[in-house]
Amino acid sequence: MIDIELIRTNKELVKDNIKKKFQDEKLPIVDEVYELDKKYREAKLEGDNLRSEKNKLSSQIGSLMREGKKDEAESIKVKVAETASKISDLEEQEERLQEEIRTKMMVIPNIIDDSVPIGKDDSCNVEIEKFGEPFTRDYEIPYHADICEALGGLDKDAAGRTSGNGFYYLMGDIARLHEATIAYARDFMINKGFTYCIPPFMIRSDVVNGVMSFAEMDAMMYKIEGEDLFLIGTSEHSMIGKFKGQIIDEKELPISLTSYSPCFRKEVGAHGLEERGLYRVHQFEKQEMVVLCKMEEAMDWYNKMWSYTVEFFRSLNVPVRTLECCSGDLADLKVKSCDIEAWSPRQQKYYEVGSCSTLGDAQARRLGIRMKTEKGNKYLSTLNNTVIASPRSLIAILECNYQSDGSVVIPEVLIPYMGGLDRIKTKE
């Protein structure tokens, strides 16, 4: 949610930003908020004046009574009562206008950074840099689900019977590799100075509304029937929500956290190979990084955070690239975002394995998270980034380390997490 002062003083900037995001249907909302805000401030000013008048009148009543001027005192009491009634009506009007303004403000997109490329959708995203050379093999690399099955590590048929499409059983050494990668990601981020955290896996609606747009919520979140609880789609939601309504001393900033969680998403059903694979699923596990910092430090943190994910995947022998998200591909709360994509030697193309975003003070405004400074309380900046989301990271490891004999070499950094196992071999 943007600062309403922008609408008060620079409506055209807000409208231009909406146009850059190709959301022209939202342009009238800016003028609507502007007019509602004028009415709100007029009502508040009138209410403040009446409250001042009421206080003056009330202070006269005691003096008049002591002077024996009962009739005058009674007359003023009537005026006080009339004024109090008007104040009550105005307060109701203020509350109604505030709620209407907030509802409309929640759908106005955040102001994007000047460096964001302008484009309508993800086809306009721009490659920034490659890390590691994309490669091919002189032997065929099977589909990742077939690799897993050949290694005795995947049972989607059983998951279909218990849970339906989009779920899976990981088995044996493949399940172990999956968890080894998560454990390595945890330690990797701890070694970068981040504090490890396991958050709640369900959150209330006021937290959901604070961390994401309504459109994202409808597309992603599973709601618990009969309760004000949602299953998280990423631990970022719980981690930012942890600070809801808090005032943090600026001396405590930056706060850098890395969190593990299972994640649950209403992914749009894929067809063909994806249905029996692990790329688009309803349940997965994730290691996330979240940072709260001063606004002026946000871009430095943004660049550090995506670089950590690049470093992580390169340590697994996986080539990656960074892709700058264009204006039309940015979620409404984001100021700037880039995707980290892993190389698929089977498909000879990159695919998304993580995303890094800086959100300015949008989430902080929605959730009331501020920092205490010598000059008063200010909103701070929030950022988030994927370390890994598995099984997508598992797919990258399997493809990039697949051997011609059907085995998969374990990346050196994961061998200690695999109990010394350095290769997964096909089952007899």
The domains of the chain, with CATH numbers, are 4-105 (1.10.287.40), 122-424 (3.30.930.10)
Kindly state the average pLDDT of the residues 282-298.
Answer: 96
Model pLDDT, residue 132: 96
Check whether 272 has a pLDDT greater than 50. Answer: no
Model pLDDT, residue 274: 56
| Integer CA distances (angstroms), 136 to 343, 346, 366, 404, in order | 10, 8, 47, 12
Written as one letter, the residue type at 68 is G
Kindly state the average pLDDT of the residues 116-140.
Answer: 95
Check whether 427 has a pLDDT greater than 80. Answer: no
Kindly state the average pLDDT of the residues 386-407.
Answer: 95
Model pLDDT, residue 273: 42
**C-alpha torsion sign, points 179, 183, 189, 195:** positive
pLDDT tens digits, 387-396: 999 899 999 9
Give the CA diameter of the chain. Answer: 107
pLDDT tens digits, 14-33: 999 999 999 999 999 999 99
Check whether 184 has a pLDDT greater than 80. Answer: yes
Give the pLDDT band of residue 166 (cuts 50, 70, 90). confident
Kindly state the average pLDDT of the residues 286-307.
Answer: 97
Kindly state the average pLDDT of the residues 390-413.
Answer: 95
| Strand ranges inside 319-375, DSSP E | 320-324, 336-344, 349-358, 370-373
Mean pLDDT over all residues of the chain? 92
Model pLDDT, residue 175: 96
Give the pLDDT band of residue 271 (cuts 50, 70, 90). very low
Check whether 183 has a pLDDT greater than 50. Answer: yes
Model pLDDT, residue 249: 96
Kindly state the average pLDDT of the residues 60-79.
Answer: 74
Give the pLDDT band of residue 264 (cuts 50, 70, 90). very high
Kindly state the average pLDDT of the residues 66-78.
Answer: 75
Tokens representing 354 are: 């993580």
Check whether 5 has a pLDDT greater than 70. Answer: yes
The helix (H) or strand (E) run that includes residue 363 is helix 362-367
**C-alpha torsion sign, points 397, 401, 403, 408:** negative
| Integer CA distances (angstroms), 189 to 262, 338, 385, 387, in order | 18, 19, 12, 8
Kindly state the average pLDDT of the residues 272-283.
Answer: 74
Give the pLDDT band of residue 304 (cuts 50, 70, 90). very high
Give the pLDDT band of residue 60 (cuts 50, 70, 90). confident
Kindly state the average pLDDT of the residues 192-197.
Answer: 98
Kindly state the average pLDDT of the residues 178-197.
Answer: 97
400, 408 in Cβ contact below 8 A? no
| Integer CA distances (angstroms), 75 to 40, 53, 216, in order | 31, 15, 58
